[in-house]
Amino acid sequence: MNKKFLLGTGLAFTLLFSPFGQAFASEPTVGERKQVDNIAHRGATAYAPENTIAGFDLAVDMKADYIEIDVQRSKDGELVLIHDTTVNRTTDGTGKVGDLTFEQLRSLDAGSWKGEQFTGEQIPTFEEILDRYHGKVGILIELKAPELYPGIEEQVAEALKERNLDKPQNEKIIIQSFNFESMKKTNELLPKVPIGVLTSNRAHTTPEALQEFSTYADWFNPSYGIVTKDLVNQVHSLGMQIGSWTVRSQEAADFLFEMGVDAIISDYPDYVDPRN
């Protein structure tokens, strides 16, 4: 049974017999956009270096609902934010993230590759990002290649618990990964934190696969190339939400609005903002 099923059933029953229920029950009018969560992919990545404070601050200024972050670990055990498993593309250094100490990672310039105005941006730590943004914007935490970092799930769970961010009222924390075993484990460590599974593989969209995901995940997050209305309906019927990535054009955002997804993960928060 879906982990949110009982909670959802109670809420649905209450709404059905309340005046609010009538409002929620009405279908959106034709052409009306469903409200979706606007998730800034690695920050406002189109405009500022990914996985940096400059990019996350800009996403907040652009009124994103969430920032998406990629979490990995230094050689000496510090949780850090960077997308690739090497520092080569997004810093002035070279080497694997897990082969470099925190001091070595922190000394790198993670901004100038994107533009000289970003010179001096550093690789952030996971904990400083939690402290800087929780309560201000949602945080979609991706465990990137967790198979390279044994025990990273426990470390992430500990950092969230220390900040009381593992409780149901803090629903604007979500943890996702392409590594499904890691997400099963994370769900056991943090049963009240919403879990997401990431995929771009159509083989993961069969009824059987979706049913299995729904036993531990709250979000099914596919690349937009495999999204269909039928998939959205199937995901919803299993009690999960669906967020899709990576939107880099207004057309792609409009396609996902049309499909009825719950969240759009984009390098361009402005393409998802209903005010635009």
70 is a site residue for Ca ion (CB under 5 A): yes
Q: How far is the first Cα of the chain from the last one, in angstroms, to the nearest whole number? A: 39
Which residue's CB is nearer to ligand G3P, number 125 or number 221? 221
Which residue's CB is nearer to Ca ion, number 3 or number 224? 224
Cross-strand pairs, 174? 140
Binding-site partner at residue 198 among ligand G3P, Ca ion, none, CB < 5 to 8 Å by type = ligand G3P
Rounded distance, CA 34 to CA 43, Å?
A: 23
Which residue's CB is nearer to ligand G3P, number 107 or number 255? 255
Is 236 catalytic? The answer is no
Rounded distance, CA 30 to CA 220, Å?
A: 26
- Say how many residues touch Ca ion, by CB under 5 A: 2
Site track for ligand G3P across 76-105, x = CB under 6 A: -------x----------------------
As to burial, measured by CB atoms within 10 angstroms (0-12 exposed, 13-18 middle, 19+ buried), residue 271 is: buried
Binding-site partner at residue 265 among ligand G3P, Ca ion, none, CB < 5 to 8 Å by type = ligand G3P
Looking at 265, 266, 268, 269, which residue binds ligand G3P (CB under 6 A)? 265
For residue 162, the minimal CB distance to Ca ion (Å) is: 23
Nearest to residue 40, comparing CAs of 111, 167, 113, 142? Answer: 142
253: Cβ contacts below 8 Å, ≥ 6 apart: 247, 264, 266, 268, 271, 272
Which residue's CB is nearer to ligand G3P, number 65 or number 68? 68
Which residue's CB is nearer to ligand G3P, number 68 or number 262? 68
Looking at 245, 256, 259, 267, which residue binds ligand G3P (CB under 6 A)? 245
Which residue's CB is nearer to ligand G3P, number 89 or number 167? 89
Expressed in percent and rounded to 5, the helix, strand and coil fractions of the chain are 40, 20, 45
Rounded distance, CA 272 to CA 35, Å?
A: 10
Nearest to residue 135, comparing CAs of 169, 158, 159, 162? Answer: 169
Whether the Cβ atoms of residue 41 and residue 246 lie closer than 8 Å to each other: yes
For residue 243, the minimal CB distance to ligand G3P (Å) is: 7
41 is a site residue for ligand G3P (CB under 6 A): yes
247 is a site residue for ligand G3P (CB under 6 A): no
Is 41 catalytic? The answer is yes
For residue 32, the minimal CB distance to Ca ion (Å) is: 30
Looking at 37, 65, 121, 142, which residue binds Ca ion (CB under 5 A)? 142
The alpha helices in 4-151, defined as continuous H runs, are 5-16, 19-25, 53-61, 102-106, 126-133
Rounded distance, CA 50 to CA 67, Å?
A: 11
Whether the Cβ atoms of residue 242 and residue 218 lie closer than 8 Å to each other: no
142 is a site residue for ligand G3P (CB under 6 A): yes
User: Which residue ranges make up the site for ligand G3P (CB under 6 A)?
Assistant: 41, 68, 70, 83, 142, 198, 245-246, 265
User: Which residue ranges make up the site for Ca ion (CB under 5 A)?
Assistant: 70, 142
Q: Which of the residues are catalytic?
A: 41, 83
